[in-house]
Amino acid sequence: MKREIKKILLIGADGQLGTDLKKMFSNSYKLFCPLVKELDITKFDKVREYIAQNTPDLIINTAAFHQVDECEKNPQKSFLVNTTAVKNLAEICREKDISLVHISTDYVFGLDKKRRIPYTEDDLPGPINIYGISKLAGEYCIRYILEKYFIIRPAALFGVAGPKGKKENFVELMLRLAQEKEEVKVKNDEFTTPTYTKELAENITKLIKTQEYGIYHMTSQGECSWYEFTKKIFELTNTKVNCQPVSSDEFLMTAKRPHYSVLENKHLKEIGLDKMSHWKEALEKYLKEKGHIK
């Protein structure tokens, strides 16, 4: 039987997605939003103690070590935060009969270089970098330990708060580069679906009210290359700059990135909860919310 959700522990509440989830939940639930200094998910005994004291009915884990190149340089930290800490959370959830919402990633895919149709939840993952491997291992720990879980795979997030671990999200980066440079070069051979954290948070809010546990792809509709995404950002904000499509080989990156990691929200559609809009529409909403356009 599903336990009624009254108290939620939101991990990573001041992050990009966490900020929107916090706004969404604050009126309807008693929320615990510890900062990393109050609850670091890699401090296992502290996590156990915190959960025992506050007795949440649901835990949402948005925390991750997700700077993809840094993960490649520091696999120990990557596996500690993205795998072992997740395993620990899942074990506590099993002991206390708490449901777990865990945010994963489209980067669990990428091995199939010829792929050009969206991945569904039924496709076998195949990550191509340490970040993706460590996140996938985290997913497998949850699936092995727990029954009441929602594993959510979003992609290419942009939200008003901006990512905590990076200076800015991709939209803000492109707008800044357009101010600083005469020419902006953007990869045109990596395809994804940019996803607005506010819409993602809205969908998560609906999903947690169900008992439809499992893995969910949760991205905006459609797909584009990073170049196509950038062109749309500049078009909507009326930004005049020379924007050039280039191959990903032009950028020296430590970690490999998937050429195609587009996801289909198949499981969400099956339960009638796929309310995500097209990425172009979501981008326009974001630009308005951020005050870039009227």
Active-site residue list:
131
Of 21, 71, 101, 103, which one interacts with ligand NAP (CB under 6 A)?
103
Alpha helices, DSSP H, located in the chain: 16-25, 44-54, 68-73, 75-79, 85-96, 130-145, 170-180, 197-207, 226-236, 266-270, 279-289
Q: Which of residues 70-89 bind ligand NAP (CB under 6 A)?
A: 81
Contacts of 139 (CB under 8 A, 6+ apart): 102, 104, 108, 125, 151, 215
Is residue 200 near ligand NAP by the rule CB under 6 A? no
**Which structure tokens are listed for 80?**
């500690």
Q: At closest approach, how far in Å is the CB of 238 from ligand NAP?
A: 25
Question: Taken in order 130, 193, 33, 108, is the CA torsion positive or negative?
Answer: negative
Q: Which stretch binds ligand NAP (CB under 6 A): 87-95, 99-107, 171-179, 262-270?
A: 99-107
Cβ-closest residue to ligand NAP? Answer: 15
Q: How far apart are the first and last CA of the chain?
A: 47
Q: At closest approach, how far in Å is the CB of 14 from ligand NAP?
A: 5
Is residue 194 near ligand NAP by the rule CB under 6 A? no
Binding mask 133-172 for ligand NAP (x = CB under 6 A): ---------------------xxxx-----xxx-------
Q: Which stretch binds ligand NAP (CB under 6 A): 101-109, 173-181, 248-256, 277-285?
A: 101-109
**Which structure tokens are listed for 82?**
């993205």
Q: Which residues are bridge partners to 30 per DSSP?
A: 7
**Which structure tokens are listed for 34?**
């510890």
Interface positions with ligand NAP (CB under 6 A) = 11-12, 14-18, 36, 39-42, 62-64, 66, 81, 103, 105-106, 154-157, 163-165
